[in-house]
Amino acid sequence: MFNRRDFLNKTILASLAAGVGISSCESKPKQDAAKNNAATTNQSSGEKPEATVIATWKHPDATQKALEVIQNQGRALDGIEAGVRMVEADPLDQSVGYGGLPDRDGIVTLDACVMDEKGNAGCVTFLQHIMHPVSVARKVMEDTPHVMLSGEGALQFALSKGFEKENLLTQAAEERWKEWLKEGTYKPVGGHEQHDTIGMLAIDGNGNLSGACSTSGMAFKMHGRVGDSPIIGAGLYVDNEVGAATATGLGEFVMKTLGAFLIVELMRQGKSPEAACREAALRIAEKYGKANEDMQVGYIALNKKGEYGTYSLHPGFNYSISRKASHEVLDSPYLSASAG
C-alpha cells in the first residue's frame, strides 16, 4: 500500500537516480499526452477553441448531450446543465441525483453548484427530494442575490420555482443501505474506483467557459454532511480569463486544499491543465499522506485555449471528453506508484 513516507522515499530515490523531478515515480497512461496535445488549438492564429466538454467518470452520453446543446444553442452553461441533468436522472448512477446512495439514516441528500463565464455562481447543499439540484443551483445563481441555499430553504426555493418533490431513494439504493446497516459501523466508503460526483466543464464556440458539479455525496455519510461538490473553489471553479476545474472523490481532501481554485490559479501562473491537476493532487498526498491510501480524488481541468488535463491520486479514475464528433472515455494519469 501507498503511504506518505514510501511516497517521499520513492520520490527522492527516483529523483536522485534519474536526476529528474517527482514524476519519475508516477504511473501515467500513455494515451493522455497524445489526447492533451490533440486538444491544443491554434492560438497563434487567433482562432476560437473548438467547443469541448469534459466530465468526470464514464459519462460519454452526458458530454455528447452537452456538446450538442452547445453546438445548437451556443452557451457552455446550457450544455453543461443538460448533460449533468442526464446523470442526475439516471437511477443506475448511485452517486448522483435519483438513485444516489443515502446517508447513514437512509436519506438521500444532494449537493450541486454551477459557475458561468461571467463569474456568477449558484449552489445548493443538503437538498432533499429534488431530482435536479444542478438546475436549482442555476436558479439560485440567476434568480436570487445569493450564492448558496441549503437544506429546507433550498427545498422551499426549488418548490417555489416549480421543481417537483420526489422520492429519490430507489429500491437498489435502499437495498445497499440496508446491507451496509448490517455492519453497523460508521466508516466512509472509499476505494480507488469509487465513482462519485459528476463534474463537467465546457468551453463554447465563443471561447466562454462554464462548469457544474452534482453529487449525492459520500455513501452512508453522517446526516448533514456536505462535501466539496457545492463549494465554489473546492469542487468547482471557473475563471473565464484562465480556465475551469472540478473535482471528484473524497470531498474532505478537496475542501481542505481548495482544489478547484488551486488548479485555476496554477493555470493562471502558466501551468498546463494536466500539470495543475497533478500539483493539486500532490498537495493532498503531501499534506495528508497515508490517509489517502484508500481514498480517491480526481481532478479535471480545461483552459481558455480549450486544452484539457486530468490527474488523480490513484488509478481507476477516468473521464469523458466530447469534441467535434468524438466522444471518448479515457483513463487519467495518477500519482501513486503502488498500483501502477
| Active-site amino acid positions | 197
Spatial neighbors of 164 by CB under 8 A, at least 6 apart, are 130, 131
Q: Quote the cell numbers at residue 286.
A: 503531501
Nearer to ligand GLY, 51 or 62 (CB): 62
Nearer to ligand GLY, 63 or 109 (CB): 109
Choose among 125, 101, 100, 121: nearest CA to 112: 125
| Under 8 Å between Cβ of 309 and 276 | yes
112, 113, 141, 156 from 121: Cα distances, Å = 11, 7, 5, 19
Residues that bind ligand GLY (CB under 6 A): 196-197, 215, 217-218, 227-229, 248-251
Q: What does DSSP say about strands 297-303 and 243-249: parallel, antiparallel, or unpaired? A: antiparallel
Nearer to ligand GLY, 107 or 159 (CB): 107
- Measured from the CB of residue 213, what is the shortest distance to ligand GLY in angstroms? 8
Query: Which residue type occupies 325?
Result: A
- Measured from the CB of residue 336, what is the shortest distance to ligand GLY in angstroms? 19
- Measured from the CB of residue 56, what is the shortest distance to ligand GLY in angstroms? 9
Distance of CA 142 to the CA centre of its chain: 22
Q: What does DSSP say about strands 209-215 and 198-203: parallel, antiparallel, or unpaired? A: antiparallel
Residue nearest to ligand GLY (CB): 227
Nearer to ligand GLY, 64 or 246 (CB): 246
- Measured from the CB of residue 75, what is the shortest distance to ligand GLY in angstroms? 26
